[in-house]
């Protein structure tokens, strides 16, 4: 029997889902905006006491039902004003992802803990661990099967002749990582020649959890190595800074490389003493997921809030199906105290802006 276009699309979507299960985790183009998922050692390593980030991404809507990802994270520091040589970072994150007509769903609730040690006034080293509850599931309600075509049209009342006994699977997952951070604040109030850099290694799915949906072959999630570095390079006596980022993701047989560069411009300086005026900044740049997509990025900052938007333009062979339309991504970040002011009188300069 000849498959309809809808069945072909369904098959493609299921294949993509299975491929992502065996090979690659959920990913973001602006991965650096979700650091506690990237590497638990990044928990609490930022310019502030508490940080909250909400992310959303929609991908491949041109093929069929798009992949939709939503996440939220919150993290902060403990004992940063009491311990002389470091502090603890704690965090919690939640993530959900749904894909295709089968609503293939991944839900994660993860707790992070990190230990940050000051190497000197300008640098720190942290070690992090994470424990996550995972659930994966599918729904067959919206799927169509060849047995439901009578030779002319699709008839939902015809039997599928398919048996599904286990549509959901839960398991516990563990991750760890290390992170080095270095910071050198501006020499004067107006010089803007601050320099920050982070470099880390994350190791996810340490225990390689096993999951099996329905009667499929039992499989183990590949462990994943994440290599990442990002920097903030202020240009002396200007309102401009350069922000390069590199992410390398190695999971089983797959490799993913994301390189991005943003140019940040301070639109308005923070009031140094009165606090009447809130600082504002804008960043514009581009990211490249090598061999897959290029993504223009724009970010806007005002006081405690920051928003980032990117859009993937697909350049791989899949672009024949997507017409080059990869997907949109947005994040919103809240940091307290105001990161434009944070750091005056603190013990270390190594926390990231």
- Is 344 contained in some domain? no
* Mean pLDDT, the chain, integer: 81
Each residue of 278-287: pLDDT tens digit?
Answer: 789 999 999 9
The tally of domains found in the chain comes to 1
The pLDDT assigned to 89 comes to 96
Domain at 178, CATH number: 2.40.160.40
Higher-scoring residue by pLDDT: 20, 38: 38
Burial pattern 173-184, b for ≥16 Cβ within 10 A else e, equals bbbbbbbbbbbb
* Unique residue bearing structure tokens 């299975």: 18
- Is 165 contained in some domain? no
Residue whose C-alpha is closest to residue 197's, from 46, 43, 350: 350
Q: Kindly calculate the radius of gyration of the chain based on its CA atoms and give it in whole angstroms.
A: 23
At residue 136, φ and ψ (nearest 5 deg) are -120, 140
- Is 345 contained in some domain? no
Each residue of 309-349: pLDDT tens digit?
Answer: 999 988 876 666 566 667 899 999 999 988 876 554 455 66
* Unique residue bearing structure tokens 């942290």: 126
- Is 274 contained in some domain? yes
- Is 201 contained in some domain? yes
Share of the chain above pLDDT 70, in %: 71
**Can you tell me the mean pLDDT for 229-243?**
93
Q: What is the DSSP string of 304-341?
A: TEEEEEEEEEE-STTHHHHTTEEEEEEEEEEEES-TTT
Q: What is the DSSP string of 234-296?
A: EPTTSSEEEEEEEEEEEETTEEEEEEEEEEEEEEEPPPSSS--SPPEEEEEEEEEETTTEEEE
- Is 182 contained in some domain? yes
**Can you tell me the mean pLDDT for 238-248?**
95
In a 13 Å sphere around the CA of 64, the CA atoms on its Cβ side amount to 21
CA quadruple 82, 88, 89, 90: dihedral sign: negative
Asked if residues 69 and 96 have their Cβ atoms less than 8 Å apart, the reply is yes
Domain that holds residue 287: 5-159+170-336
The pTM score is 0.81
CA distances from 114 to 94, 106, 172 (A): 18, 25, 19
**Does residue 353 carry a pLDDT above 60?**
no
**Can you tell me the mean pLDDT for 299-311?**
95
Each residue of 38-88: pLDDT tens digit?
Answer: 999 999 999 889 999 999 998 765 556 677 899 999 999 998 888 889 999
Model confidence at 161, pLDDT cuts 50, 70, 90, reads low
- Is 68 contained in some domain? yes
- Is 352 contained in some domain? no
Share of the chain above pLDDT 90, in %: 48
């Amino acid at each position: 029997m000849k498959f309809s276009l809808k069945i072909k699309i369904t098959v493609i979507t299921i294949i993509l889902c299975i491929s992502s299960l065996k090979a690659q985790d959920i990913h973001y183009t602006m991965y650096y905006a979700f650091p506690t998922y990237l590497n638990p050692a990044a928990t609490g390593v930022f310019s502030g006491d508490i940080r909250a980030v909400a992310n959303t991404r929609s991908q491949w809507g041109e093929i069929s039902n798009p992949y939709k990802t939503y996440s939220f994270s919150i993290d902060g520091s403990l004992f940063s004003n009491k311990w002389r040589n470091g502090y603890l970072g704690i965090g919690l994150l939640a993530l959900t992802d749904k894909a295709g007509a089968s609503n293939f769903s991944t839900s994660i609730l993860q707790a992070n803990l990190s230990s940050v040690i000051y190497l000197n006034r300008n640098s720190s080293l942290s070690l992090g661990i994470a424990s996550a509850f995972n659930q994966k599931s599918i729904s067959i309600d919206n799927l169509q099967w060849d047995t439901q075509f009578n030779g002319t049209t699709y008839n939902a009342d015809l039997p599928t002749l398919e048996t599904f006994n286990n549509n959901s699977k839960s398991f516990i997952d563990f991750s760890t990582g290390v992170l080095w951070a270095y910071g050198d604040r501006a020499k004067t109030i107006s010089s803007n020649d601050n320099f920050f850099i982070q470099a880390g290694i994350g190791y996810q799915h340490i225990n390689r959890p096993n999951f099996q949906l329905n009667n499929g072959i039992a499989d183990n999630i590949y462990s994943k190595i994440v290599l990442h570095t990002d920097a903030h390079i202020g240009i002396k006596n200007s309102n401009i800074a350069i922000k390069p980022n590199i992410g390398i993701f190695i999971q089983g047989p797959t490799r993913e490389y994301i390189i991005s560069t943003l140019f940040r411009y301070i639109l308005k300086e923070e009031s140094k003493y009165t606090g009447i005026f809130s600082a504002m900044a804008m960043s514009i740049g581009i990211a490249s997921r090598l061999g897959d997509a290029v993504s223009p990025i724009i970010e806007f900052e005002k006081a405690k809030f920051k928003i980032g938007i990117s859009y993937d333009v697909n350049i791989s062979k899949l672009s024949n199906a997507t017409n080059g339309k990869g997907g949109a991504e947005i994040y919103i970040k809240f940091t307290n105290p105001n990161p434009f002011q944070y750091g005056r009188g603190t013990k270390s300069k190594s926390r990231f802006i």
